[in-house]
Amino acid sequence: MTKQKRTPEDEAEIRRRRAQSQKDKARNQQQKEEEIIHRLADRITRVIQRLPPSATKPSSLIVPVGCSSISSQALIMEARSKKFMHDIAQVFDDAKYSDAKIVIHGVVLPVHKSVICTQSEYFQKAFQSAFVEGDLGILTFNEGSGAAYWRVFEYLYTVRYSDHLPKDFVNDSPLLKDPRMYSLADMFFLDDLKALSALKLKEKLQLEHLWTSDSFPDCVREVYSCTPNSDRGMRSAVVEVARAHTYQLGQKAMFRGLVGEGGDFAVDFIFPEPLDVPDDPPHTDQTEW
C-alpha cells in the first residue's frame, strides 16, 4: 500500500485553501482593529458623559453652505470630537481640575479620574481599593520602566505616546520602548494601546530596519519575557522579521546565541505556525494495487 501522489488539481486545491486561510486571517485581523476603534469611541463617549456641562458646550462651528442636514451633522460631530480630544490632551500633566495623583518613581503626575478610569478597568478598581493612599487618591508605581508608565498616561490623554520625555526618567532604548508599552497595556486592560505598540514595533523593525541593530536580540527577549505564549501580537512581529532576514541575522553571533538559548522564540522561529489545511486533500481511493 503506497501513498498516492498529488495531482496538479490537488496542488491547486491546497493553494486555494491556503489563500482562503490567509484571507480569513486578514479579515479577522481587520475585525479586531475595528473593534478596537469602536471601544475607543465608547470610552471617549463615557468620558464626555462624566464631564460637567460647562466643559462640553459646543464650540462655534461654520457649516459649509449647501451641505445636507446629515452631512452637516457629521461635520459638526467630527469637529466636536477633534476639539474634545484636543481639550483632553491639554490637561495632561496639568493640576487644574485634577482629582488624583500618580507617583511614578517619585515623579508626581496629576490625573483626572474621569479620563483614566473610564478607559481602564484597572484604574476603576485601583481607585476603589486599598492601593490608593488616603483621601487624596494617590497611586504609586515604583517598579519597572518609569518612562513606560509615563507614556501610558500620555496615551490615555492624547491617544498616542511620544519618543521624548519631558520628565527626568531614564528613557527606554528604541527597541525596548514598545514591548514595555505592550506589557503595561496588557496590565491596564488597554487593548487599543497593545495594538498600537505592536504596530509601532513592527514599523521600527521593518521600515526603519532596526532588526539590524545589535539590540534586536534583547528586544526579542523582552517581548517573550513579558507576554504569554497565547498572546501573539508582539511575538509575531519579531518572529516575522527574524524569518524574513534569517540569513543576515544568522551571521550575527548575538542572534545565534539567542536562538541557542532555546525557549519559545527558538520554537516559533524554527517551526512556522501550521496552516489550517490538511496535508492531503481527500481522495476516494488512497491506494495503488
The continuous run of DSSP H or E covering 282 comes out as none
| Region of 18 on the Ramachandran plot (φ > 0 left; ψ -120 to 50 alpha; else beta) | alpha
- CA distances from residue 116 to 47, 190, 212, 218 in whole angstroms, order as listed: 9, 11, 37, 31
Do 204 and 160 belong to one domain? no
Query: How many alpha carbons lie under 13 Å from residue 63 in its C-beta half-sphere?
Result: 15
User: How far is residue 185's CA from residue 266's CA, in Å, rounded to a whole number?
Assistant: 25
Same domain, 156 and 129: yes
CATH, residue 120: 3.30.710.10
- Same domain? For 116 and 195 the reply is no
Same domain, 85 and 111: yes
Number of compact structural domains in the chain: 2
Cβ(148)–Cβ(181) under 8 Å? yes
Separation between Cα atoms, residue 137 and residue 133, nearest integer Å: 6
Same domain, residue pair 230 and 249? yes
Q: What is the pLDDT of residue 239?
A: 95
- Same domain for 184 and 149, yes or no, is no
Specify whether 80 is located in the same domain as 165: yes
Give the pLDDT confidence score for residue 58 in this predicted structure: 47
Among 129, 147, 171, identify where a domain stops: 171
Together in a domain, 166 and 229: no
Task: Report yes or no on 232 lying in a domain.
Answer: yes
| Residues 154 and 201 grouped into a single domain | no
Cell of 184: 503595561
Question: Are 159 and 199 part of one and the same domain?
Answer: no
- The answer to whether residues 112 and 146 belong to one domain is yes
Per-residue pLDDT of the chain (289 residues; tens, 9 = 90+): 555 677 877 777 777 887 787 777 767 766 665 666 566 656 655 555 555 555 545 444 444 555 555 566 666 677 777 787 888 889 999 998 899 999 999 999 999 999 999 999 999 988 887 556 555 688 999 999 999 999 999 999 999 998 888 778 999 999 999 999 999 999 999 999 999 999 999 999 999 999 999 999 999 999 999 999 899 989 999 999 999 999 999 999 999 999 999 999 999 999 876 544 445 555 555 444 4
Does a structural domain hold residue 38?
A: no
User: Would you say residue 110 lies in a domain?
Assistant: yes
Q: Mark whether 152 and 212 lie in a shared domain.
A: no
* Domain range for 231: 178-273
User: In the prediction, which pLDDT does 63 show?
Assistant: 47
